[in-house]
Amino acid sequence: MSDLYMTTHHPIKNVQLLHNPNAGDKNHNKETLMQHIEDKGFRCSYSSIKEEGWEHVSDDIDMLAVASGDGAIRKVVRMLLNRAVKDKAFPIGIIPMGTANNIAKSLGAPIDMEQAIEVWTKGIIQKHDIGILTNVPEEEFFMEGVGYGIFPELMKQMKKRGKEKIEEPEEKLKATLKLLHELILNYEAVPCHIEVDGRQFAGKYILVEVMNTKAIGPNLALSDKAVPDDSVFEVVMVSDEQRQQLADYVLGKMNGNEEPPTLQMAQGAHIQIDWHGREMHVDDRFIEVKKSTVIGIELREKLISFILPERPTPGLSM
């Protein structure tokens, strides 16, 4: 059983704000964020993650407040994972400012800025599993998901067609879903062999995703069972035969109907994937490998701490 609801209280006084000044709107600038944090009784220091040296955190800091989207949260997690075992471990508080905010939603963190900061006053820590990768260039871990097929293709096509430059979140989400629907209908299925805790799966797929959150990409809920601290990953496999089912789900989502599809899935902590192609993604990063290779995924339990509501209500993610 997941201990998502088993909490540890951690009194917080000193907050280090790690801010992406390019994210959010005018209500999320440095001065406004610091004022809201200090109004809740915290002492707040500031670093922009766009500037050198943001990784240096004083030991008198009680928590790191990440004000940005999923990418910046991942950046901070990488920094914490790279710290020596003897170094102080800092819990993370989230002020969601991204387009999808998958990590915040999957953890049950409030999306509203005021509510997100209010959560820290109770100082409740919850843990997050991390996936450790082998044979993946320049990437050693993931938080949300890693996979092949239509999602890395979506990332590539969004950049190629200039749609990633759309600034208004709702417009960008609509454009992303429309392009995704097109790709699902036309993407050529690829041979793949998957091993999940010793169980074998093989076939031709348009999507293979190892998920640590309930949803990926443009808030697509592909797995209602994925919980970030339950000591297993959800492996979602969409074969050629399930192509239309996934396309119908995306079309329904475009029209305001949130009815997730029932897809082939497996649960496990030790995973190998042999995808006969060269494109993949790790969280929100597109990766093109030099040649097709078998990647390994190992789950590491509860490596990262977050400050979250005592009774989170995980939602759907990017």
Tens of pLDDT, residue by residue over 267-299, are 999 999 999 999 999 988 899 988 889 999 999
Q: In this structure, are 251 and 288 located in the same domain?
A: yes
Tell whether 168 and 107 lie within a shared domain.
no
The mean pLDDT value for 253-267 works out to 91
| pLDDT reported for residue 10 | 67
pLDDT of the residue at 8: 60
- CA gap 156, 33 in Å, rounded: 33
Average confidence (pLDDT) over 179-204: 97
Cα–Cα nearest to 223, from 206, 239, 240, 235:
235
Distance CA 264, CA 24 (A): 36
User: Looking at residues 57-79, what average pLDDT do you find?
Assistant: 93
**Would you say residue 318 lies in a domain?**
no
CATH number at residue 118: 3.40.50.10330
How do beta strands 63-68 and 264-268 pair?
Answer: unpaired
Q: Where are the beta strands (DSSP E) in the chain?
A: 8-9, 14-19, 43-48, 63-68, 92-96, 124-134, 141-142, 145-149, 190-196, 199-211, 215-216, 220-221, 233-239, 264-268, 270-275, 279-282, 285-288, 294-307
Same domain, 190 and 55: no
1 falls in which pLDDT band (50, 70, 90)?
very low
Please check the confidence at residue 2 and state whether its pLDDT lies above 50: no
CA distance 48 to 289: 31
Range of the domain at 198: 132-301
120 and 20, same domain (yes or no): yes
In a domain, 56, yes or no: yes
**147 and 296 both lie in a single domain:** yes
Residue 3: inside a domain, yes or no? no
Whether the predicted pLDDT of 315 surpasses 60: no
pLDDT tier at 182, thresholds 50, 70, 90: very high
Q: Are residue 203 and residue 297 in the same domain, yes or no?
A: yes
CA distance 234 to 308: 23
**205 and 164, same structural domain?**
yes
pLDDT at 214: 83
Does residue 116 share a domain with residue 203? no
Same domain for 28 and 103, yes or no, is yes
Q: Span 57-73, mean pLDDT?
A: 93
Average pLDDT over residues 135-149: 92
Looking at the domain assignment, is residue 315 inside a domain? no
Whole-model pTM: value is: 0.79
CA gyration radius, the chain: 19
Q: Are residues 116 and 142 in the same domain?
A: no
Looking at the structure, do residues 80 and 147 belong to the same domain, yes or no? Answer: no
**Residue 219 belongs to a domain with what CATH number?**
2.60.200.40
Token readout for 40 is: 């809740």
Does 111 lie in the same domain as 175? no
The residues near 118 (Cβ < 8 Å, ≥ 6 apart) are 40, 110
Within a domain: 297? yes
The tally of domains found in the chain comes to 2
- Asked if residue 282 is part of any domain, the answer here is yes
- Comparison of pLDDT for 233 and 310, the residue scoring more: 233
| Within a domain: 317 | no
- Whether 2 is covered by a domain: the verdict is no
